[in-house]
């Protein structure tokens, strides 16, 4: 069932045209990487603060609010380019273990970031034991997603 | 050619060969190089957004410089170490790669921008430290930084593609010139 869906994805006009173009994949990949940089910065600046490091003169809630548009922009850019990359090689992804690690940890990281971390950060002024746990969990989750993402290109 | 012979010798050293042929070390090294982008370019970009006045408008620049720059510098050190090791694994391949050369040139431009920023704009930091919108010169430096680091990232990613490799002849003359290809005598 899933394989059939992935085969259909790869056969879409978008997937097909990215695959036949020499430049499309590398260019989309580069934009995906630039998104990674922006996401890394937006996530880390708040996570460091949650850990009691970095911009400690700023209130956690205020910092999270200022970072928010860049965080959302980065996630949107990565999702868009990520879907395009996936469409061009969906069947390869199906047989790729790193892809499955990424695709299962990504929703967890997103739900954690927007469902848990953002909501709690709104109430916080300064770092606490709970905020440190939150910051560490966020870094660990996003690190896993990024590492698995890079590994898609090496495995399978 | 001295450079050519040096690179060939470097690439033939046992550690270089072992690195290139290793099943785990090379991909781990490459992954570390890419993931550190999030730390290095990520935190640098946040500071640039502050400089151009696009974000963190209530945060003094000096706080960014003292509290965030150490992480950016640590990230840069990791990038350089992993980057040098990757270069060492296959020196000739990178030296004769057009994107590698573009990356190195833009890297120098980026460094020049940082040097100018430190030697001119930062000296008067006290005058604009708390400005929501830093002075024009600071905004320009921040903008140049965003553009040049993005170019470094893109050129770096493109190194992996062999469109313009010296071994893929025929290539236009300018490609052979820019990549420094050594062609067999005609």
Cβ–Cβ below 8 Å for B39 and A146:
no
Low-confidence winner among A130-134, B135-139, B161-165 (lowest mean pLDDT): B161-165
Residues of chain A contacting B110 with CB distance shorter than 8 Å:
none
For the cut 90, the answer to whether the pLDDT of residue B168 exceeds it is no
Q: Which residues of A touch B59 (CB under 8 A)?
A: 55, 57-58, 66
- Are B59 and A56 an interchain contact pair (Cβ–Cβ within 8 Å)? no
B71 and A70 in contact by Cβ < 8 A?
no
Cβ-based neighbours of B56, under 8 Å, separated by 6 or more? A66, B46, B49, B50, B64
Q: Chain B: nearest CA to A77, how far in angstroms?
A: 15
Closest residue in B to A52 (Cα) is B67
Segments of chain A with pLDDT less than 50 = none
Cβ distance of B42 and A39 shorter than 8 Å = yes
pLDDT at B186 over 80: no
Mean pLDDT (whole number) for B50-78: 96
Which residues, at least 6 apart from B139, have a Cβ–Cβ distance to it below 8 Å?
A: B51, B52, B53, B133
Q: Which residue does chain A place closest to B158, by CA atoms?
A: A26
How far is A20 from chain B, CA to nearest CA, in Å? Answer: 15
* pLDDT score, position B36: 97
- Of B146 and B3, the one with more pLDDT: B146
Q: Which one of B33, B36, B38, B153 would you mutate to disrupt binding with A, by most A Cβ within 10 Å of its Cβ?
A: B38
* Residues in contact with B3: Cβ distance below 8 Å, sequence separation at least 6, in sequence order: B95
Q: Taking CB atoms and an 8 Å limit, are A57 and B67 in contact across chains?
A: yes
The domain limits of chain A are: 24-84+97-152
Give the pLDDT of residue B169.
87
Q: What is the pLDDT of residue A156?
A: 60
How much of chain B is helix, strand and coil, in % rounded to 5? 75, 0, 25
**Closest to B39 (Cβ–Cβ): which among A26, A44, A151?**
A44
Q: Report the distance separating Cα B54 and Cα A66, nearest Å.
A: 10
Cα distance between residue A80 and residue A121, in whole Å: 27
Residue range B66-70: average pLDDT?
Answer: 96
Confidence band of B1 (pLDDT split at 50, 70, 90) = confident
CB contact under 8 A, B68 and A54: yes
Q: Do A55 and B34 touch (CB under 8 A)?
A: no
Instruction: Name the strand (E) or helix (H) holding A139.
Output: helix A129-152
User: Would you state the pLDDT for residue B171?
Assistant: 87
Cβ–Cβ gap B59/A55 under 8 Å: yes
DSSP of A45-97: HHHHHHTT-SSTTS-HHHHHHHHHHHHHHHHHHHHHHHHHHHHHTHHHHHT-H
Q: How far is B162 from chain A (nearest CA, A)?
A: 11
Instruction: Provide the total of helices (H) and of strands (E) in chain A, helices listed first.
Output: 8, 0
Mean pLDDT across B166-176: 88
Return the pLDDT at A78. 97
Distances (CA, A) of A70 to A45, B46, B47, B60: 11, 9, 13, 19
The structure tokens listed for B13 are: 């050293």
pLDDT in the model for residue B165: 87
Q: Which span out of A9-13, A93-97, B39-43, B122-126 was modeled with the highest average pLDDT?
A: B39-43
Instruction: Tell me what the pLDDT averaged over chain B comes to.
Output: 94
pLDDT given for residue A143 in this prediction: 97
Q: At what angle do helices A129-152 and A24-50 cross, to 10 degrees?
A: 160
Segment B104-132 shows an average pLDDT of: 94
């Amino acid at each position: 069932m899933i394989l059939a869906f992935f085969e259909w994805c790869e056969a879409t006009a978008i997937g097909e045209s990215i695959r036949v173009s020499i430049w499309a994949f590398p260019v989309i990949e580069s934009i995906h990487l630039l998104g990674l940089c922006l996401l890394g910065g937006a996530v880390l600046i708040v996570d460091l603060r949650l850990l009691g490091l970095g911009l400690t003169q700023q209130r956690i809630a205020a910092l999270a609010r200022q970072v928010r548009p860049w965080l959302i922009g980065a996630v949107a850019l990565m999702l868009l380019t990520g879907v395009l990359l996936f469409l061009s090689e969906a069947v390869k992804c199906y047989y790729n273990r790193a892809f499955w690690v990424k695709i299962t940890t990504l929703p967890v990281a997103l739900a954690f970031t927007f469902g848990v971390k953002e909501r709690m950060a709104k109430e916080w002024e300064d770092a606490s034991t709970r905020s440190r746990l939150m910051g560490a969990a966020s870094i660990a989750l996003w690190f896993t997603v990024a590492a698995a993402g890079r590994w898609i290109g090496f495995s399978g | 050619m001295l450079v050519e012979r040096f690179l060939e010798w470097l690439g033939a050293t046992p550690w270089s060969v072992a690195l290139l042929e290793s099943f785990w070390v090379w991909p781990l090294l490459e992954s570390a190089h890419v993931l550190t982008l999030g730390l290095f370019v990520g935190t640098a970009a946040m500071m640039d957004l502050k400089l151009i006045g696009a974000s963190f408008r209530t945060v003094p620049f000096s706080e960014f410089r003292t509290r965030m720059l150490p992480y950016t510098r640590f990230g840069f050190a990791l990038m350089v170490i992993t980057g040098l090791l990757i270069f060492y694994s296959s020196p000739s391949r990178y030296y004769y790669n057009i994107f590698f050369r573009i990356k190195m040139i833009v890297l120098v431009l980026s460094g020049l921008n940082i040097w100018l920023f430190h030697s001119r704009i930062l000296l008067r930091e006290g005058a604009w430290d708390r400005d929501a919108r830093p002075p024009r010169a600071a905004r320009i430096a921040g903008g140049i930084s965003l553009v040049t680091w993005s170019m470094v990232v893109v050129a770096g990613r493109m190194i992996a593609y062999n469109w313009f490799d010296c071994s893929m002849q025929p290539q236009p003359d300018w490609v052979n010139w820019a990549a420094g290809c050594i062609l067999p005598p005609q």
